[in-house]
Structure 1
């Protein structure tokens, strides 16, 4: 069995491009990666970020699931403090009813936006990440079997058992996922600093649960695969420019690749962008295969969730197709499977 690869999509827009056009490209990508054997297609949640069209995550999940047939579709992830757990349970219970056995619920505790956006989403700032375990417990109650004396119930949602994965960029969610016996996805695609530490804590502290007998570690990484290393590095200047614009508080639309960053960034910006994207796998198939094998050895990852954004949609398709070829040459770790991971 080949190593598992999946997709994380932020539904990036080009300058002046409509959200409908960007979403259509995402649907086209989902149909292709389904054919190439990808395990799942996840959509992020970001708010008030000019250049991304992924704010209504559950709506996008339904749209992509309806346009595909077998690939799992889910959230990477829903930022739970932004939402009432009952509403999340109802949304994902409905998705599970429509597309049984294909829906994932990835959950994070970050806001997905700045403080002003948090206020607009939550109306006040009394909730913070500190309430995440309690919000998670409440949500899982609505997705599980009805409990004695339970007054509020999610219909649909109750007894749907939509699989939950915890997302994080530090050891907090790694520890929580381990203690609860849940899968864990680390966001190395923008915060690689604590990757190996969090992976170790998750595996070493994992407690088997009814739904998962062994740890299942997913790692989000930027990926760009092309025919040659120089070609891939040039294509990767598009996501580099996006991150540069992010730290400048500018719109983060997709921009065409550039031959050089001379005159585009200063030394501090260069260091910041390269550090935040240092987990990226960029190059030819041989180079990316070497990097992926190194990542697996360092973290014992069970799955990689690739983030690939290019100016030209054809280049994005090619990168994901080449990554599928790379993954097919790497054996899955052991023979254990994630419960309900179909």
Structure 2
């Protein structure tokens, strides 16, 4: 693990649609945020894939190309492409096309959310077992949220089915990752026939695996010697087991000689703790809209939104308590704890607020406090 002071920071963006605005504005703001992150010397700018909800990064690869065109040096990538909704060849051809114009800057993150949903509906996934909160060397590991009800909700099922052809089945995740790598390397075969992705073969693209548990994502990343991203901001209860499983499974590869772990965190930074808490006060509303099965709603204005009631808060309590909110010093202390306990090599931060200027400020204040070399100290 890098020393705390030397740990790089990267940015995750969902291009959230905020209450009173629209998706085109969210797309433009994603590009502006990427430029801002590059100026502040964040290492990467990654975009998440979600469908039929109020976030504008649904066509993730398209937006990656637009961000790459609008920036010069920052690495740009997916966090993550849902492998169950795209064929390996479509993924590689898309990234190969962007790499042709912006070579050596792309991170191809792969996730298996579609496969997870299929496991839940088939009954092959273990049911979440309630556990008490833990505090591990200062890091809160909350009781896990039972994701089974969410993944089986009518709206989530409908969105998933609408995103692929009728009757299609998600492939085995490890097989899909292997096909992506073979296509990039120019070694792909279907039976006895060699097939070449054009563009795609030979593209200077780094493959990443995203995971939220000790399951197949962590196992695949380790066994194939790929870098791994553990989602503390989505599934804080399982981050330690995911990282441990990855490291235990790791085998050196042409991509990596040693494990490389990135851990995600949700942050809101302001000049002082009280201001940050106010700006973050509708985060719970946003998470509730997701966990209730309705899908991510427009992000509410904290100046006008009513507080969550006790029942609503109980559904999102783990996410609220594991969000890093406060002054620069407060958030830096929390992130250093996260890095220390997970032994992260890099941290990936996402910051969502209703006011876009507050998002820009959050990233800037954190960059200064973390002492990123591009941050202004005026």
Judge same fold: TM > 0.5, yes or no.
yes
- Displacement, 1:239? 2.1
Equivalent position of 1:226 in the other structure = 270
Deviation at 1:150, TM superposition (A): 4.9
SS of equivalent residue, structure 1 residue 301: coil
In the other structure, the counterpart of 1:335 is: none
How large is the Cα RMSD of the aligned pairs? Answer: 2.1
Q: CA shift at 1:250, angstroms?
A: 5.8
Equivalent of 1:136, from 170, 177, 183?
Answer: 177
Q: Does 1:291 pair with 2:334?
A: yes
1:55 maps to which residue?
58
Shift in CA distance, 98/260, structure 1 to aligned 2, threshold 3 Å: closer
Q: Match for 2:237 among 182, 187, 193?
A: 193
Q: Which moved more, 1:313-322 or 1:116-125?
A: 116-125
Aligned to 1:209: 253
Listed one character per residue, the Cα deviations across residues 124-150 of structure 1 (whole Å, up to 9, x for unaligned) are 35423x611111111111111346865
Contact 1:237 1:258 in 2 (8 A): no
Matched, 1:160 2:228: no
For residues 98 and 288 of structure 1, do their structure 2 counterparts lie closer, same or farther at Cα, with a shift above 3 Å needed? same
Any conservation in 2 of the 1:175–1:202 contact (CA below 8 Å)?
A: yes
8 Å CA contact 2:328, 2:366 repeated in 1: yes
Question: Is structure 2 residue 88 aligned with structure 1 residue 85?
Answer: yes
TM-score by length of 2: 0.81
Q: Are positions 1:309 and 2:364 aligned together?
A: no
Q: For 2:167 and 2:368, how far apart are their aligned partners in 1?
A: 46
1:115 aligns to what? Answer: 157
Measure the CA separation in 1 of the matches of 2:305 and 2:15. 26
Residues 191 and 313 of structure 1, relative CA distance in 2, 3 Å threshold: same
Relative to structure 1, the CA distance from residue 83 to residue 137 in structure 2 (aligned partners, 3 Å threshold; closer, same or farther) is same
Q: 1: CA distance between counterparts of 2:175 and 2:30?
A: 34
- Equivalent of residue 361 in structure 2, options 295, 314, 318: 318
Q: Deviations over 1:254-303 (max 9, x none)?
A: 21115996xx4232321221213433211111111111111111100111
Could you tell me which residue of structure 2 aligns to residue 339 of structure 1? Answer: none
Q: Provide the C-alpha distance between the structure 1 equivalents of 2:181 and 2:317, rounded to a whole number of angstroms.
A: 38
Distance in 2 between residues matched to 1:251 and 1:290, nearest whole Å:
29
SS, match of residue 171 in structure 1: coil
User: Aligned equivalents of 2:313 and 2:279: distance in 1?
Assistant: 17
Consecutive aligned runs of 4 or more in structure 1 exceeding 4 Å deviation: 147-150, 258-261
Q: Give the conservation status (yes or no) of the 8 Å contact 2:232–2:263.
A: yes
Structure 1 gap segments, 5+ residues each: 331-342
Deviation at residue 119 of structure 1 after TM alignment: 1.6
Distance between the aligned counterparts of 2:60 and 2:372, measured in 1?
33
- SS at the partner of 1:114? helix
Kindly indicate whether the alpha-carbon contact (under 8 Å) linking 2:106 and 2:204 is maintained by their aligned counterparts in 1: no
- Equivalenced residue count is 326
Identify the residue that residue 336 of structure 1 maps to in structure 2: none
For residues 222-267 of structure 1, the C-alpha deviation after alignment (integer angstroms, 9 at most, x for no partner) is: 0111111111111111322211222332651121115996xx4232
Provide, for residues 146-193 of structure 1, a one-character-per-residue CA deviation record: whole Å limited to 9, x for no partner: 468652210010121411100011112112111110001112212111
When the two structures are superposed, what TM-score results if normalisation uses the length of structure 1?
Answer: 0.89
